[in-house]
Amino acid sequence: MQKRKLGNSGLEVSAIGLGCMGLSYGYGPATDTQQAIQLIRSAFERGITFFDTAEAYGPYKNETLLGEALAPIRDQVVIATKFGFDFDDAGGQSGMNSRPEHIKAVAEAALKRLKTDRIDLFYQHRVDPNVPIEEVAGTVKELIQQGKVKHFGLSEAGAQTICRAHAVQPVTALQSEYSLWWREPEKEILPTLEELGIGFVPFSPLGKGFLTGAINESTTFDSTDFRNVVPRFAPEARKANQDLVAILGELAARKKVTRGQLALAWLLAQKPWIVPIPGTTKLHRLEENAGAAAVTLTPEELRDINGALSHFTVQGERYPAHLQARVGR
């Protein structure tokens, strides 16, 4: 597995990471703990050294799982987690909270759950409109000075917020959605990151599974699956978006790779400081995703992909309105 550096920070990670959320939360029932631990360790055996979690995934369960799975190899991996929410007694999100004292408390709790003495990359999960980003950056700077955190990250932040935060404490990475069916970051975000020397960590690089071809209009999701509320996953949108999957299938067949590998290789080809973090609960998908790091697309192939997709408009919003309101501040 090739390595990449996230911007100018010097933080080196595997070219493809593992998004761990789906093992505990978001996409139906949680994976059996021992199976999940085995999958995480299998990822490491395949060269993946970058693991992404958050207190919100569960809440708390995913960090605990990751801490147990990575304990024997802690010094050989990079762990990213996140702060920024309050939770009610039932485990639901009850609002944003990036107040300094809360960030510090979350860091202490995360260190215990992750069985570690430092968080390699600590992201603000969503921009909190009630706390100036300078205060957030300053608080993480303190944690870095104390050795509890190594690097500061933002998630789904807008260009202006990124610049303001970076002026207080250099931002190592931005995590936001980016894929062949969500290219919004190309307008403002990628140029901003390039200018400031910040790495980019795309989540949902496979379109929450859709770009693999494993989902069609008749697919049913578990009642706890987040995709049930996503407009882009409404049956009529899935039907309309099958044309995109068909195009990817043709291009992938020509390259003798899978659709998922093509989608990941396309992301890797955009910038040398982009590190996608596909998630999965299945070993064969993990192997497939890891294999994408070895797929090199020629300039001609990239032109073919962009040309083929330029005629296609993806149907459906990527978030319901209440979640979209939290994005890109």
User: Of all helices (H) and strands (E), which one includes residue 78?
Assistant: strand 78-83
**Structural domains of the chain in order of their starting residue, each with its CATH number:** 3-324 (3.20.20.100)
Structure-token match 């360790």, residue found: 41
Q: What is the DSSP string of 18-61?
A: EE-GGGTSSBSSPPPHHHHHHHHHHHHHTT--EEE--TTTTTTH
Q: Tell me how crowded residue 313 is: count the other CB atoms within 10 A of its CB.
A: 10
Distance between CA 139 and CA 254 in Å, rounded?
50
Closest to 128 (Cα-Cα) out of 163, 84, 87: 84
DSSP SS3 for 14: strand
The string of pLDDT tens digits covering residues 200-214 is 999 999 999 999 999
φ/ψ of 121, rounded to 5, equals -145, 120
Note the pLDDT of residue 32.
Answer: 98
The string of pLDDT tens digits covering residues 139-187 is 999 999 999 999 999 999 999 999 999 999 999 999 999 999 999 999 9
Distance between CA 256 and CA 250 in Å, rounded?
10
Note the pLDDT of residue 301.
Answer: 97
Average pLDDT over residues 259-266: 98
DSSP SS3 for 200: strand
The CA–CA distances, whole Å, from 148 to 62, 104, 107, 152, 205 equal 20, 10, 8, 11, 30
Is residue 260 scored above 90 in pLDDT?
yes
Distance between CA 96 and CA 37 in Å, rounded?
30
- 242: burial class by Cβ within 10 Å (0-12, 13-18, 19+)? middle
Distance between CA 251 and CA 13 in Å, rounded?
29
Distance between CA 219 and CA 239 in Å, rounded?
11
Q: Is the whole-model pTM more than 0.85? A: yes
- The amino acid sitting at 291 is G
Q: Tell me how crowded residue 149 is: count the other CB atoms within 10 A of its CB.
A: 25
The CA–CA distances, whole Å, from 50 to 5, 59, 131, 168, 285 equal 11, 21, 29, 25, 17
Catalytic residues: 57
Distance between CA 229 and CA 320 in Å, rounded?
7
The CA–CA distances, whole Å, from 64 to 21, 53, 59, 61, 110 equal 12, 10, 10, 5, 8
Share of the chain above pLDDT 70, in %: 100
Contact, 232 vs 320, CB < 8 A?
no
The string of pLDDT tens digits covering residues 307-317 is 999 989 999 99
Confidence of residue 137 (pLDDT cuts 50, 70, 90): very high
Confidence of residue 328 (pLDDT cuts 50, 70, 90): confident
Note the pLDDT of residue 86.
Answer: 97
Distance between CA 252 and CA 257 in Å, rounded?
5
- The amino acid sitting at 67 is G
**Mode of pairing for the β-strands spanning 149-155 and 171-177:** parallel
Note the pLDDT of residue 28.
Answer: 94
